[in-house]
Chains A and B, each alone.
Chain A
Amino acid sequence: MSKIAESAGAAVADITDGRTIAIGGFGLCGTPSALIEALLQSGATDLHIITNNCGPDSSDVTRLLRAGRVRRVSASYIGDNSEFLNSYLGGAITVDLIPQGTLAEKLRSGGAGIPAFYTPTGVGTAVAQGGIPVRYGSGSGFAAEYSAPRHVAEFDGREYLLERSLTADFALVRAETADTIGNLRFRGAARNFNPLCAMAARVAIVEVQEVVEAGGIPPDDVHLPGVFISRVVDLGGRMRKPIERLRTTDPVPAGGGSHGL
């Protein structure tokens, strides 16, 4: 019953060319870097990556792009990553730009067995009307393919557009703690897209800082039940957690408090 994989390499060994892979994380936060490194080593190519953003130029996802292993990216944001932007504008990859909340819901609903949903996000914009460049002609600087218009319907006097849900062949995600049967607990804002990517995938692979015995995470503290997880890679406390933008503050003078309700 144990889902513990021998290694990150063994966990991703059956990811073949052309697969769709949902990758958790928000920039560098919560991104499964050991699994992406293993995917890079595996040689799998022609991949469709679903991820909120590819992080900065130094990110692991960007290394996949740079190595020419990615055919398509579905994401909400390209900014801060010149490799991603240049691959898109140069026609090397196809890009679906999706509002962040719509992307999150596409993954959640895909994993929840709901094929499509209506949302108010994007009504009256290019998301609804179509026409966002999806692929540029190689080196031409001109778009060769555009996003399709969405069906719009009115409910209770307000307009909504129809979005299709997303599923993936595999998910690569990161959590802080797993038990041996794949129950997960995340830490801080590193949760982000990780549970949603895992839900949307046929095979979800997680890397974790530590593994505990089943029952080691109290049932009330399980953030994602192990039913969604196929394989667990134990990083044994050696998880890399890079910081994208380090900002600190000077100590607050006496009397200056913090805000909050």
Chain B
Amino acid sequence: MTWSRDEMAARAAAELTDGQHVNLGIGIPTLITGHLRDRAIMLHSENGIMGLGGYPLPGDEDADIINAGKETATTVAGSSFFDSAMSFAMIRGGHIEVAILGAMQVSVAGDLANWTDDGARVKGMGGAMDLSVGAKKVIAVMTHRTREGQLKLVRECSLPITARAAVSTVITDIGVFDVREDHFRLREIAPGVPALDPELSRMLRPGR
């Protein structure tokens, strides 16, 4: 068995410490919100909110309060609104303790690729490059293989990168991996996952 998307989100939520300011990327990271009830965590939304809440109740939707994924959202007590330059001052200035981002590839050195699927079909980096250099700690959340079966934990990224040596921990459907410069350390394996793929096992050892 592997972890579901929601189980990966729950596992990522367990990496957070109360009192932190945290930015959640689009995709699986968005699901983490559902695992933060009663946690003393302030969520930052790049479009200008500190203190993002969950989705509104039916009838309470407000077009002026949306998250970075353009979904209707709410705010919590103590929240604030600000412009995009202030928002990225928080990010780039090192005031956001943790960013949890989706990823297409993460290398043993912590290089992150998540802004374009190849060189020709560019979708734009949005706030991903700022978040990955600016947050004090970057956690990547992704399935460990692409739909086509390619490993997304890699020695070196083949996709255009978002930032070098940015990621410290990768939460996948098969377990939790810490980035150790020239290898991954398997910190935790999802219950019932059989022996690791030999190619991935080789990346758990230093060197090539």
Residues of A within 8 A of B (CB): 26-30, 52-53, 75-80, 85, 88-89, 97, 99-105, 107-108, 119-127, 132-133, 141, 143, 176, 186-196, 223, 241-249, 251, 256-261
Q: B74: which A residues are within 8 A, CB to CB?
A: 258
Q: A194: which B residues are within 8 A, CB to CB?
A: 83
With contacts A124-B161, A191-B48, A247-B71 known, is A104 near B126, CB below 8 A? Answer: no
Q: B92: which A residues are within 8 A, CB to CB?
A: 101, 119-121
Tell me the minimal C-beta distance from A154 to chain B in angstroms.
15
Contact across chains for A78 and B123 when beta carbons are under 8 A apart = yes
30 A-B pairs (CB sep. < 8 Å): A27-B66, A29-B47, A29-B70, A77-B124, A78-B123, A79-B123, A99-B127, A100-B84, A101-B87, A101-B91, A101-B130, A101-B134, A105-B88, A121-B129, A121-B134, A123-B163, A125-B163, A190-B63, A190-B64, A191-B81, A191-B82, A223-B83, A245-B69, A247-B55, A247-B72, A259-B41, A260-B40, A260-B79, A261-B40, A261-B51
Tell me the minimal C-beta distance from B93 to chain A in angstroms.
10
CA distance A30 to B65 in the complex (A): 10
Q: A88: which B residues are within 8 A, CB to CB?
A: 122
Which of these, A105, A192, A241, A261, contacts B63 with CB under 8 Å?
A: A241
With contacts A193-B83, A249-B55 known, is A104 near B42, CB below 8 A? Answer: no
Can you name the residue of chain A whose Cβ is closest to the Cβ of B166?
A124
**Could you tell me the dominant secondary structure of chain B's interface residues?**
loop
Contact across chains for A100 and B58 when beta carbons are under 8 A apart = no
Tell me the minimal C-beta distance from A228 to chain B in angstroms.
12
Contact across chains for B55 and A192 when beta carbons are under 8 A apart = no
Q: A89: which B residues are within 8 A, CB to CB?
A: 121
Which of these, A29, A79, A85, A258, contacts B53 with CB under 8 Å?
A: A258
Which of these, A29, A76, A187, A260, contacts B125 with CB under 8 Å?
A: A76
B205 within 8 Å of A (CB atoms): no
B197 within 8 Å of A (CB atoms): no
Q: B79: which A residues are within 8 A, CB to CB?
A: 260
Contact across chains for B19 and A261 when beta carbons are under 8 A apart = yes
Contact across chains for A244 and B38 when beta carbons are under 8 A apart = no
B39 within 8 Å of A (CB atoms): yes
Contact across chains for B127 and A29 when beta carbons are under 8 A apart = no
Contact across chains for A260 and B76 when beta carbons are under 8 A apart = yes
Q: A29: which B residues are within 8 A, CB to CB?
A: 47, 63-64, 66, 70
Can you name the residue of chain A whose Cβ is closest to the Cβ of B47?
A26
CA distance A106 to B70 in the complex (A): 23
CA distance A196 to B85 in the complex (A): 7
B62 within 8 Å of A (CB atoms): yes
